[in-house]
Amino acid sequence: MSNIISYDERIKNFDWSISEKELDYQPGNVINIGWYCSDRICKLGKADKMALIWEGSQGQEKRYTYNELRLTSNGVGHFLRGLGIQPEDRVCLFMDKIPELYIGFLGVLKIGAIVQPLFSAFGDESLIVRLENAQTTAVITQRKHAPKLRKILDKMPYIKHIIIVDADPAKPLGDREVAFDMDHAFKPEDFEIHPTKAESPSVLHYTSGTTGQPKGVKHVHYSLISQYLTSKWVLDLLDTDIYWCTADPGWVTGTSYGIIGAFSNGVTQCVLDAGFSADNWYRFIEKHKITMWYSAPTAIRSLMKAGDEVIKKYDLSSLRHLASVGEPLNSEAVIWSEKVYGKAFLDTYWQTETGSIMITNFPGMKIKPGSMGKPFPGITATVIDADTFEPFDGPGKIGLIAIKPGWPSMMRTYWRNEETYNKKFKNGWYLPGDRSSIDNEGYFWFVGRDDDVINTGGHLVSPFEVESALLEHPAVAESAVVAKPDFVNMEVVKAFVTLKPGFVGSKDLDLEIMNFVRKKLSPLAMPQEIEFIDNLPKTRSGKIMRRILHAKEWGEEIGDTSTLEND
Ligand code: PRX
C-alpha cells in the first residue's frame, strides 16, 4: 500500500484545496494545528492509536495514544492560561527531545500562543539574542537546562515564567520559576481551543544568516495545509506507518515533519532521545519496526562510515521508505543506501523559511541520484540569473534558486525585521539563498549556498555569530570564520584568529577558545579548528576577506584580490 501516483498525475490540476478538502478545512474558518494534530485524529476514530513512542538515552520508554496526546496538550493549554499567557505571546520550548517537547508544542498552539522552539544545547549568548528578539513571555524547560536561563534572567525583563517540567520537589525553585509535571497535571476533557485563523501566528523558528543576528521566521496555522500534504505525498505517510524523523524540534524539520506532518496524518511516530551510534539506530529501527525514516545526509554518511557489517546484525526489513533533508545528499549515499537497505534515501530540499518541502524526489518519480528532484506540485521554482534576476532560457546554467511566493507554509515575515524579509524577494521571486542548475528533464542539482553561512551537519551557522563570540574572549584581537570541508558533516566551522599582544597561540589556548564558543553559542557553532595567524586578509577599507580564507580551505582559485590591503 502507498500514496504513490506518478509525478505528472500529481501536478495535473494541482490546487492546495486538495489538502484543505482532505483536512475538512473551509477557507475563512478556524484552523488550529494543535487541534488538527490531536483532537481531530481522535474524532476520526483513532483515539486509542499510539501517537508517540519515546525512548530515552537509558532505554526508558514512554508511550502516548492520540487521546493521551489530546488530553495532555489540553492540560498544557489549561496550565498556561492559568499563568495568564495570552494568544500570540511567545512561549519558548527549551528541552531535549522528551515527550514534553512534543506535547508542549501542541498545548501552546491550542491557546493561540506562538511556539518558539530553541535547541537545548544552546549556550547563554544564543539564548539571549533569540529570547530578546522574540520578547518571550515564558520558557518551558527541564531542570538540567534551567541554570542557563537563571544566568541570563537579569537581562530578560519580558520573561515572566520559567516552567520546569521535571522540578525536584525537594529543591526550592528560583526566581520566576514554576513546576509543571505534564503527565500528572489536570487534563481537561473539554478544553476551549483558541479559534486561530489561517493567518494567526503559530511557530517562530530562529535561523542564522551571514550578517546580523539570527532571524525569527514567523509561520502561521495555515502552514498545516502544506505540511500535511507534503508529509502524505513525499514522506508517503500511511495509517499503518511507524515513522521516525530523526530531527530535533529545535529546528524546523523536527517541527514541520517531526510534529505537525506526523500527527496531522495520524501516524505512530517514534522518537529516540539519545546520541548517535549506528548500533543504537539500527536497534531502534528493528525494535519498533520503523517503516518510514526521515533523516539527514550527515547521519547517512556517519552510517556509511560505520560500514556494512553492522547492518547485518539487525533486521531492518520493516523499512519501506527513506528520505533525507538539510544538506546536499551525494549520489554515493543514495546508491549505498539502496545497496544496504534495499531502499534509496530520497533527497528533499527546503528551509526554515519555506516551512515545508519545496523541491523533492518522491515515490512514483524517476530518481536521479545526486539531484534534489523537482518542485512539489503547487510550487513554481526555477533558477535565475544572479545579475538580472530573470530565469535562464535553457537548462544547465547555474543560478539562484527562485520560488514564486504564495504556498501555504511560506514564512510571513522575519520577526521584528521586515527590512531583511523584504530583501529575500527579487523580481517577484522568493530567493532562498542557494545556487543550483536545472537539467533538461527539470531536475534540480544543488551547487551551494549564495552566502557565507556554514551548513555543518545540516545546521546553519552564522560566521558573524561565531566571530562575535570569539571577540569576547580576552586573548582574541580579530577573527574570521569560514567553512572547512569534512567527510561526515560536509562542512565544519574553522576560525582564523589573531591574538592580542601578550598572548601566544598554543594547544591549551586553542581548546580554551573552542570551549568558550561552545558554552556561549552551541556545540554546533564551536570551531573544530582554530588557526592562529599574524594578519587577516582585509580589503583596503578594512573589511575581512573571508572569501580568500574559504578558497584556501577548499583548495580553490583565490580569484580577484585587487582590493586586498596587503597586496
Ligand atoms: O542551503 C540549503 C540547505 O539548508 C538550508 C536550509 O537550512 P534550514 O533553514 O536550517 O533548514 C534545514 C531543513 C529544512 C537551505 O537553504 N539544504 C536544505 N536541504 C537541502 C539543502 N542543501 C542541499 N540539498 C538539500 N536537500
Q: For residue 455, give the H/E element and its range.
A: strand 454-456
Give the residue, by CA position, lying nearest to ligand 1 atom 21.
327
Q: How far is the CA of 487 from the centre of ligand 1 (A)?
A: 18
The answer on 525 and 396 residing in a single domain is: no
The answer on 132 and 63 residing in a single domain is: yes
| 441 domain-assigned | no
Q: How far is the CA of 244 from the centre of ligand 1 (A)?
A: 19
Q: How far is the CA of 432 from the centre of ligand 1 (A)?
A: 9
Looking up residue 253, the CATH number of its domain turns out to be 3.40.50.12780
Closest CA to 20 of 552, 378, 384: 378
pLDDT band at 154 (very low <50, low <70, confident <90, very high): very high
Q: How far is the CA of 205 from the centre of ligand 1 (A)?
A: 14
**How far apart (Å, rounded) are the C-alpha atoms in residues 3 and 129?**
43
Query: pLDDT digit string (tens) for 553-564?
Result: 999 887 766 666
Q: How far is the CA of 351 from the centre of ligand 1 (A)?
A: 5
| 210 domain-assigned | yes
pLDDT band at 6 (very low <50, low <70, confident <90, very high): confident
What does 271-300 look like in DSSP terms, one character per residue? EEES---HHHHHHHHHHHT--EEEE-HHHH
How far, CA to CA in Å, does 528 sit from each of 231, 470, 476, 481, 493?
35, 13, 17, 11, 6
Instruction: Provide the residue range defining the domain that includes 518.
Output: 454-554
Give the residue, by CA position, lying nearest to ligand 1 atom 15.
351
| 446 domain-assigned | no
409 backbone dihedrals φ, ψ, rounded to 5°: -95, 15
What pLDDT is attached to residue 314? Answer: 98
The answer on 82 and 120 residing in a single domain is: yes
Check: CB of residue 399 under 8 Å from CB of residue 348.
no
Query: pLDDT digit string (tens) for 292-339?
Result: 999 999 999 999 999 999 999 999 999 999 999 999 999 999 999 999
**How far apart (Å, rounded) are the C-alpha atoms in residues 102 and 126?**
22
In the sheet that 114-117 helps form, which strands lie side by side, from edge to edge? 177-179, 161-164, 138-141, 90-94, 114-117, 201-207, 215-220, 413-414
| 358 domain-assigned | yes
The answer on 543 and 408 residing in a single domain is: no
Give the list of residues 6+ apart from residue 187 with CB closer than 8 angstroms, or none: 71, 72, 74, 75, 78
| 443 domain-assigned | no
Give the residue, by CA position, lying nearest to ligand 1 atom 8.
351
Among residues 436, 463, 485, the one where a domain terminates is 436
pLDDT band at 1 (very low <50, low <70, confident <90, very high): low
Q: Residue with C-alpha cell 517562530? A: 204
Does residue 567 surpass a pLDDT of 70?
A: no
Does residue 56 surpass a pLDDT of 80?
A: yes
What pLDDT is attached to residue 7? Answer: 86
- Tell me the average pLDDT across 268-276: 96
What pLDDT is attached to residue 542? Answer: 77
What pLDDT is attached to residue 50? Answer: 98
The answer on 333 and 214 residing in a single domain is: yes
Looking up residue 461, the CATH number of its domain turns out to be 3.30.300.30
The answer on 305 and 338 residing in a single domain is: yes
Check: CB of residue 109 under 8 Å from CB of residue 90.
no
Does residue 102 surpass a pLDDT of 90?
A: yes
What does 126-144 look like in DSSP terms, one character per residue? HHHHHHHHHT-SEEEE-GG
The answer on 461 and 426 residing in a single domain is: no
Check: CB of residue 296 under 8 Å from CB of residue 327.
yes
140 backbone dihedrals φ, ψ, rounded to 5°: -100, 125
By three-state DSSP, how is residue 536 classified? coil
The answer on 190 and 84 residing in a single domain is: yes
| 563 domain-assigned | no
Among residues 436, 462, 493, the one where a domain terminates is 436
The answer on 240 and 375 residing in a single domain is: yes
What pLDDT is attached to residue 541? Answer: 76
The answer on 432 and 458 residing in a single domain is: no
Number of other CB atoms surrounding residue 510 within 10 Å: 17
Total domains, the chain: 2
| 562 domain-assigned | no
- Note the pTM of the prediction, 2 decimals: 0.95
Q: How far is the CA of 347 from the centre of ligand 1 (A)?
A: 11
The answer on 485 and 365 residing in a single domain is: no
Residues contacting ligand 1 via CB (< 6 Å): 207, 251-253, 325-329, 347-352, 372, 432-434, 446, 449, 455, 460
Check: CB of residue 288 under 8 Å from CB of residue 240.
no
- Tell me the average pLDDT across 73-101: 98
What pLDDT is attached to residue 563? Answer: 66
Mutate to test the pocket of ligand 1, among 255, 298, 455, 489 (most ligand atoms within 8 A of CB): 455
Among residues 401, 436, 471, the one where a domain terminates is 436
Give the residue, by CA position, lying nearest to ligand 1 atom 14.
351
pLDDT band at 254 (very low <50, low <70, confident <90, very high): very high
What pLDDT is attached to residue 9? Answer: 87
Q: For residue 72, give the H/E element and its range.
A: helix 66-83
Name the pairing type of β-strands 90-94 and 215-220: unpaired
The answer on 256 and 285 residing in a single domain is: yes
| 561 domain-assigned | no
**How far apart (Å, rounded) are the C-alpha atoms in residues 435 and 445?**
9
